[in-house]
Amino acid sequence: MKRPLTIALTKGRILKETLPLLNEAGIAPLEDIAASRKLLFDTTLDGVQLVILRGSDVPTYVRHGAADMGIVGKDMLLEFGAEGLYEPLDLKIAQCKLMTAGFLDSHSDRPRLRVASKFVNIARRHYAAKGVQADMIKLYGAMELAPLMDLADEIVDIVDTGNTLRANGMAPLEHIADISSRLVVNKASMRTRHDLISALVQKLSVAVDRRGEERG
């Protein structure tokens, strides 16, 4: 029997917005993902399964062909690279911005700017492009804490409403990139399973457009 076509989904906020979109495209998990500790789920579409991963692992699974397709934030693709992947569709969900942020009245004694982020590759490229010499500190959560505790002068983080920053006395400073979730496809799968994958891309594309029209 042929291996099921596997779609890697990003858990958390992106997953919540992904499931209704997949549903509109005719793919629904056979059991409630939120109520289960399983990681692999069969779906209503015969021969298609879902795997639930951390966003940073989705490009890796798809690049190596362990999953044929994936849904992942553009921030992850910018940070970890998109080699070996096609990116055929912007799903226009989980929209936010990648920005630098910090205190408006910051006055650091350090000779070089210190930047804390989960996105150190994106941050390094951003400051280098501006000609600013900056040292990077890799963090895994609660980036807003770093300037508050004087671990760093600025952070590079995801901003949606800006409320998290404001609640901690900071402000967004520079816009780096607009972020949304993208559909990615393994390059070899695109050749070997072209008919099924292009039909799914087409269905998702119709669902994304329909939503756009509804929003006006």
* Part in contact with ligand AMP (CB under 6 A); list of ranges 41-49, 57-65, 99-107, 153-161: 153-161
* Residue position matching structure tokens 């690279």: 81
CB of 83 to ligand AMP, least distance (A): 23
* Binding of ligand AMP by 158 (CB under 6 A): yes
Number of Cβ atoms within 10 Å of the Cβ of 195: 7
Q: Which of 17-21's residues contact partners 24+ apart within 8 Å by CB, and which partners?
A: 17/93, 17/94, 17/181, 18/71, 18/91, 18/93, 18/181, 21/91, 21/93, 21/204, 21/207, 21/208, 21/211
* Binding of ligand AMP by 46 (CB under 6 A): no
Among 122, 134, 159, 185, interactor with ligand AMP by CB under 6 A: 159
Indicate the SS3 state at residue 106. Answer: coil
Judged by beta carbon, residue 42 or residue 87, the one nearer ligand AMP is: 87
> What does the alpha-carbon distance between residue 199 and residue 189 come to, in Å, rounded to a whole number?
13
Judged by beta carbon, residue 85 or residue 91, the one nearer ligand AMP is: 91
Judged by beta carbon, residue 159 or residue 185, the one nearer ligand AMP is: 159
> What does the alpha-carbon distance between residue 177 and residue 210 come to, in Å, rounded to a whole number?
25
* Binding of ligand AMP by 92 (CB under 6 A): no
DSSP string, 152-177: -SEEEEEESSSHHHHHTT-EEEEEEE
Judged by beta carbon, residue 159 or residue 183, the one nearer ligand AMP is: 159
* Binding of ligand AMP by 136 (CB under 6 A): no
Judged by beta carbon, residue 60 or residue 164, the one nearer ligand AMP is: 164
Cα-trace Rg, the chain:
19
* Part in contact with ligand AMP (CB under 6 A); list of ranges 41-49, 80-88, 154-162, 200-208: 154-162
* Part in contact with ligand AMP (CB under 6 A); list of ranges 147-155, 160-168, 188-196, 197-205: 160-168
Binding mask 6-35 for ligand AMP (x = CB under 6 A): -------x----------------------
Q: Residue 183 in contact with residue 71, Cβ under 8 Å?
A: yes
* Binding of ligand AMP by 111 (CB under 6 A): no
Calculate ∠ Cα 25-29-32, nearest 5°: 130
Number of Cβ atoms within 10 Å of the Cβ of 122: 18
List of residues contacting ligand AMP (CB under 6 A): 13, 73, 94, 96, 157-164
